Chains A and B, each alone.
Chain A
Amino acid sequence: MDCRDTKKLQAAHFLIIAFFLVGSHTVAMSIQRDMPYSMVWFYLNPDEQQTRRMLQTVRDLGVMKTQALIYWWQIETLGGNYWKQMGYTERDIGTSKLKALDNYIKVSHELGMRPALRVGTFRVFKGLYHPMDTTGSVEKYCDWLRRMATRYKGKIDHWVIGDEENKRFPEWGWTGSAKDYMEKLFIPASIAIKEGDPDSRISCTAVSSAPATDWIMKVIALGLPRYGDGIAANIGYRRIEDLVELQNMMRKVKAVWPEAKFYANGVGYVEHAHLHDKRQASILAQCMFTLWDIGWNSAPYYVYAFSKTKDTHQNFGIMSLPGQDKAAVYSDAWFAYQTIAHTFYNRNKMRQPDFEIRLRQGEVCATEDGLKMRIAPPVPVFHSYIRNNNQMLLYIAYRKFREPCNGRWDILLRTKHWVRPKRIPILDYKARLAVPHHYEGDWLVIEKVKVSLEPAILILTRSGTEIIHSQDKEH
C-alpha cells in the first residue's frame, strides 16, 4: 500500500466517520429538541410499510410527536358486527386495527417520534363505551385502557382521556360537569392506565369552548393533579389571534399547579383552499409559533391530510399522503409548519437579548415640524431569542387573522456583537436571504422588514462566529 492508498483509506475512513457523525447528530438533535409541535394522526394502517411511508413525511416536517385517536370498540369488537353498519371493513377493525396501532407506535419510535393517544369514550354510541357492553359501565372500559397501557408501556408520550366531555349530553345522562367527569370517567381511567404503565402521563379531556377556564379550574380542584399530569384544550386559530383568555387560563392553572402540562386534541384548524394558500400557511405558522412561545407542551395540528369535515365541510389539511405508487403532495402550509418546527425549539434553553431592541415603522410618509411621520399598521407581534450564545432569532408578524395588513418596519438592535442579519423564508427553512441593514451609531438597523400575516423570521450570528448553511442564498 503506497502513500496514495493510505491517503485514500484515510479519506474513506473520514467519510465513513463523518457520515455516521452527521447522521447520528441529526437524530440526536431531533430527539433533544423540546417542542410542542405535533400532528393529529387519523391514518392508522395495518400495512407497516405504508405506515412508515406516511410517518416519514411527519418526520420530514420536523415534528416530534403525533397524536392518534383510538376507541375501545375499534380495537376489540367483543364479537359484535356493529362496525359493518358503520361502514368499517375488517381491515379497519379489531385485530387489524390493533396491528395498525402497533405499527404506528413502533414506526414512530423508529423515526425518533413520540406517539400520543387520545382515547375515545362514550360519545359515538350515545353513552356507551362499547356497543356490545350495554351496561355503560366504566369498569370494562378501564380494563381495556389497562390492557393498552400495559401493551405500550413506556412508548406513549401522553394519554388524553376523551374529547370535549365538558359538553352536556342530557339524552344519555351526561351533565358535562367537572364533578361527573372526574368521578365517573377520569379518575377510574387514570388509575387503570397507571396500573398498566405507572410512568404514563395523562391529561383530562380536551375542553370544548376552550379555554373553558372555570371548568378546568374545577377539575383541578377536584383532584386532577393527584391523578393526572395536565389539562387539554382544543384551540382554534381565533383563540390564538387574541391570546388574552388562553394565557389567563395558563396563569391560573400554573398558580395552583406549577407542574401542569398543557395538551390538546387539536389546534389550528386553518382552512385550506389550495396548495399555495398563503393565508393558511401564514396563520398555521403563527399558531404553531405562538403555542411554542407561550409554553404549550403538546399542540397537534388538526389535521394532517387534506379532507373535509363531515359537518361543516371544512378542509384543514396540509398535505396529501403518499402511497405505494403515489408521492406525497405538500401545501405551502406544510412547508410553513416545517420552517417553524425547524427554527423554534428548546424554548427553555433560549434567553432574551440583554441589549435594547426597538421597532420603528419603516416608511416615512411626511416630515412635519422636523418629525418624520412613519406609517405602517401599529403593533406587530415581535419576539427575540438567543440560542446557544451564537444564534439570534427575531420573529415579527401581524397577528390579525381577520384583517390582514402589511407594513415595513425597521428593527433597531443596540449591539455590535450580532451581525449578518438574514431572513429565513417561511417556505424554506434551510434558506438564508440577505436583508438590507446599516449602522446608526451603536445601533444595527435592519431596514424595512416586510411585516404581514406571514411571519418574518430573521437570524443573526454572533460576531466572530461562522455558521455554514446548506442553502445560503443572496438577493
Chain B
Amino acid sequence: MENMVSKVLIFVVIPAQVLLGGSGFWHPAGNTNAIVLQDSGKLVIRADGSTTAGVISKPLNTPQNCTAVMVEASVQNANQRSLTFAVFDDNTSDCIGYWQNPRAIGRAITIATVLSFSRDKVTSIRLFAGTHSHASHVQILSFHYTFLRKATRCHNSIYGCRIDHDHTLRQTFTAEGKELDAAVILIKALGNSFRGPNLKVSLYHWQDDFTSSLQAKPLASVIIPRSRIISVENIETLKEMDTDVIATYLTKSERKLAVPLKSKTTQGQRYILELAVDNPAATESGFLTYAWVDKYPHGQLFDGLTTRGRNWDIYMELFYGL
C-alpha cells in the first residue's frame, strides 16, 4: 500500500497554479486492487466489473467564495462514464461535486470540466479521480485543478441554435470578475460524430462595435474536438428522430461542456463569447447550442452580426478565478 501511495503521487503532473504531487497528496480510494500505477506515473484503473476505485487528495483549503473547481486532465481509454472526478466537503465528508465523462475517450486528450459545489461556504475540500460504479480501464496522465467562483447562470434554455459554416453565434455579456476562467455551454454535434468541423470558442473584448471588436485578437480561442461532443446519432434512443430539424426542440443528448478560457477581464466591461466551427469552409453539419428569450439581462445573442429578432441569450454558466 505504501508503495502504491508513493506511486500515486507521481501521476500528478501539474504545470503551475497549485502544486500537487507533494508527499502524501493523494491516497488510494475504493477498490485498491483495481488501481495500478505505472512507472511513468500514469494512474490506471483496471476493473472489468463495476467498481469504485481511484485516488483522493489531502484536504485543500478553499479561498473565500469558492463555489466550483475546474479540473483539467489528460486522459485516455475511458468508456462512457467510466471516468469520475468528484469533490468532497472535508468537514462533512459529503460528495459536493461530481462529473463523469459523457463520451468515450480513446487516445489521450486533455479534457476540462467544472465541478460546481452543491453547497456554499465550503472551507476545505478533497478531490477524487478514478471511476465510480463502473467497469473501467481509464488512464489518467495528468491532473490540474483551479478554484473558481460561479457567476452567471441561465435557466431553462431549450431552443436550439445552430452553429455551422453559415451560423456563428456571439453572446455579449458583462464581466463579473477579474479573470474569466471557464464558460459552460450546452452543446451537441449534429450529424456524424467524427466527420465534420470542430467547435471553436473565442472570447473578445467589446470595443465600440462588432467589427472593431472582432478585428482585435481574441483574448482566448479554444478548439474543442468534435469527438469530445456528444452527437445526436450516438444516442440509441434518437434513432427514430429526424435530425434535420433546425432550431427546434431537439432536447435530447446535449450535454454541458466546460470551455477553459483563462482570460483577464475587467469587471463591468462587455465581452463577446463566440461559438463557431473551426473550418468555415466545412459544409457538414455543425453543432446545436441552446438559447431562450431574456435569460441574461446584461447581454444579447447575435447570429453573425444580427439579433434573432427578440432578446435571445444562449445557455451559459460563467466561472471566474479567485
CA distance A237 to B158 in the complex (A): 10
Q: Which residues of B contact A311 (CB under 8 A)?
A: 245, 248
B residues near A274, Cβ cutoff 8 Å: 237
Q: Is A406 an interface residue (CB 8 A)?
A: yes
User: Which A392-408 residues sit within 8 Å CB-CB of chain B?
Assistant: 402-403, 405-407
The docked-state distance in angstroms from the alpha carbon of A377 to that of B128 is: 12
Docked-complex contact A371 and B100, CB < 8 angstroms = no
How many B residues face the partner with a CB closer than 8 A? 46
State in angstroms the CA–CA spacing of A394 and B156 once bound together: 27
A128 interfacial contact with B, CB 8 Å: no
* Cβ–Cβ contact B56 & A368, under 8 A: yes
Considering only residues 233-284 of chain A, those with a C-beta below 8 Å from chain B are 236-239, 242, 244-245, 269, 271, 273-274, 277, 279
Q: Report whether A312 and B237 are in contact in the complex, using a CB–CB cutoff of 8 Å.
A: no
Residues of B close to A456: CB separation below 8 A: none
Q: How far is the CA of A313 from the CA of B250 in the complex (A)?
A: 10
CB of A76 within 8 Å of the partner chain: no
Measured CB to CB, the closest approach of chain B to A454, in angstroms, equals: 15
Q: Which of B37-45, B194-202, B251-259, B262-270 contacts A (4 or more CB under 8 A)?
A: B251-259
The B7-40 residues at the A interface (CB cut-off 8 A) are 27-30
Q: Is the CB of B156 within 8 A of A377?
A: no
Does A327 count as interface, using CB distance less than 8 angstroms?
no
**What interface size band does chain A fall in?**
35 or more
- Nearest CB of chain A from residue B302's CB, rounded to whole Å: 20
User: Within 8 Å CB of A157, what residues of B?
Assistant: none
Contact of B158 among A236, A273, A366, A379 (CB under 8 A): A236
Chain A contact residues, majority secondary structure: loop
Q: Is the CB of B245 within 8 A of A312?
A: yes
Q: Is A21 an interface residue (CB 8 A)?
A: no
**Closest CB of chain A to B114's CB: distance in Å?**
13
Which residue, of B27, B252, B254, has the highest number of chain A Cβ atoms within 10 A? B252
- Residue A417, interface by CB 8 Å: no
The reply to whether A239 and B256 form a contact with Cβ atoms under 8 Å apart is no
Give 1 or 0 for each of A308-324: 1 = CB within 8 Å of chain B CB.
00011111000000000
* Contact assessment for B251 and A236 in the assembled complex, using a CB-CB cutoff below 8 Å: yes
Q: Is the CB of A312 within 8 A of B249?
A: yes
Q: How far is the CA of A269 from the CA of B158 in the complex (A)?
A: 13
Cross-chain contact B133 with A313 (CB below 8 angstroms)? no
- Nearest B residue (CB) for A361: B95
Return the chain A residue nearest B293 by Cβ: A209
Q: Which of A244, A269, A277 contacts B237 (CB 8 A)?
A: A277
Would you give the 0/1 interface string for A183-216, flagging 1 where the beta carbon is closer than 8 Å to chain B? Answer: 0000000000000000000000000010000000
Q: Does B2 have its Cβ within 8 Å of any Cβ on chain A?
A: no
User: B56 to chain A: which residues have CB within 8 Å?
Assistant: 365-366, 368, 373
Residues of A within 8 A of B245 (CB): 311-313
Taking a contact as CB atoms under 8 Å apart, the answer to whether B133 and A315 are in contact is: no
| Chain A residues, CB < 8 A from B28 | 366
B158 touches A368 (CB 8 A): no
Asked if A375 is at the interface of the complex by the 8 Å CB criterion, the answer is yes
Given known pairs A313-B241, A373-B56, A373-B93, the reply for A238 and B158 (CB within 8 Å) is yes
Residues of A contacting B30 with CB < 8 Å? 365-366
Asked whether B249 lies within 8 Å of A236 as measured between CB atoms, the reply is yes
A265 to chain B, nearest CB (A): 16
Tell me whether A374 and B248 are in contact (CB under 8 A): no
Judged by a CB distance under 8 angstroms, whether B118 is at the interface is yes
Min CB distance B91 to A, Å, is 9
Decide if A374 touches B27 in the complex (CB within 8 Å).
no
Task: Check if B133 sits within 8 Å of A312, measured CB to CB.
Answer: no
Q: Which residue of A lies closest to B118 (CB)?
A: A378
Q: How far is the CA of A433 from the CA of B4 in the complex (A)?
A: 42
Given contacts A273-B236, A405-B98, contact A368 B27 (CB under 8 A): yes
Chain A positions within 8 Å of B, measured between CB atoms, are 209, 236-239, 242, 244-245, 269, 271, 273-274, 277, 279, 311-315, 360-361, 363, 365-366, 368-369, 371-379, 402-403, 405-407
